[in-house]
Amino acid sequence: MKLKELDKKMKECQDCELAKTRTTVVPGAGSEQAEIMFIGEGPGKNEDLQGEPFVGAAGKFLDELLNRINLKREDIYIANVVKCRPPGNRDPKPEEAKACWPWLEQQIKIIKPKVIIPLGRHSLQRFIPEAGISQYHGRALRKEFKPLGKLIFFPCYHPAAALYNGSLRGVLEDDFEKIPKILKKIKEIS
């Protein structure tokens, strides 16, 4: 299956309560051939209205971070753990994340990214429940992830966290600077 086909199916999803309150499904955006896949938490107000991930303030900062390492949105893929906005921007409920999981799994299967970058602790916890973001950010981890096989993760703080806590800005910038080197290393060993 191609992403286009998957997106079409996703847009009709009624698998959890979020379907009742969303304006639009936000499947994700970017290249099907992306080597780097960023995974945020879930759409906010702007994303819900526009159907695109990371278009609000956090998205602007994400664009800046990408720009610093010469990446454009069309070079990468950006998705979220949940594809519909939780009302009032509350955290997604475990059952919502669980219901949405097969979509993300299929996206990863199609894109086959060389590195997955969970943005923020909620995204990281979906992949590595025992890992805390403050300890694991900016470190590459290789993990068997059934049924997808061995995946490489490089967790980063969520860009929105840096908007609330200015001291995280430099940390995020430093972690992003490592991404091209990590990717180069992965390609050398694979």
The number of residues making up the chain comes to: 190
* Minimum gap (Å) between residue 39 Cβ and ligand URA: 8
Pairing of strands 149-153, 141-145: antiparallel
Place of tokens 């890992």: 131
Cβ proximity to ligand URA: between 128 and 186 the closer is 128
Give bridge partners of residue 153 from the DSSP assignment: 116, 141
Closer to ligand URA by CB, 59 or 113: give it. 59
Could you tell me the smallest distance in angstroms from the CB atom of residue 160 to ligand URA? 6
As a whole number of angstroms, the distance between CA 143 and CA 108 comes to 14
By beta carbon distance, the residue nearest ligand URA is 40
- When the beta carbons of 89 and 187 are compared against ligand URA, the nearer one is 89
Work out how close the CB of 159 gets to ligand URA at its nearest, in angstroms, rounded to a whole number: 8
| Closest distance of CB 153 from ligand URA, Å | 16
Counting Cα atoms < 13 Å in the Cβ hemisphere of 182 gives 23
Q: Give the span between the Cα atoms of 42 and 81, in whole angstroms.
A: 6
41 or 175: CB nearest ligand URA:
41
Q: Which two tokens stand for residue 61?
A: 């900062």
Contacting positions for ligand URA (CB under 6 A): 40-44, 47, 53-54, 58, 80, 160
Q: Mapping DSSP to helix (H, G, I), strand (E, B) and coil, where does residue 43 land?
A: coil
Which C-beta is closer to ligand URA: that of 152 or that of 160? 160
According to DSSP, the residues that pair with 79 across neighbouring strands are 39
Q: How far is the CB of 74 from ligand URA (least distance, A)?
A: 17
